[in-house]
Amino acid sequence: MLARRRRTYFVMMGICIGLFVLAWGVVRIWSVPAAVGMCVVAMLIPPVAAMVANRRGPDDRWWDDPSGDPKSDEWWDELDGKKRRP
Domains in the chain: boundaries? 2-59
The pTM for the full model equals 0.65
d(CA 15, CA 20): 9
Q: How far is 64 from 73, CA to CA, in rounded Å? A: 9
Contact between 59 and 1 under an 8 Å Cβ cutoff? The reply is yes
Range 6-24 average pLDDT: 94
Phi/psi of residue 55, each to 5°? Answer: -65, 140
The residue type of 1 is M
Does residue 83 surpass a pLDDT of 80? no
At 34-71, the pLDDT tens digits run 999 999 999 999 999 999 888 877 666 666 666 778 88
Tally of CB atoms within 10 A around 8: 14
23 burial (CB, 10 Å; 0-12 / 13-18 / 19+) is buried
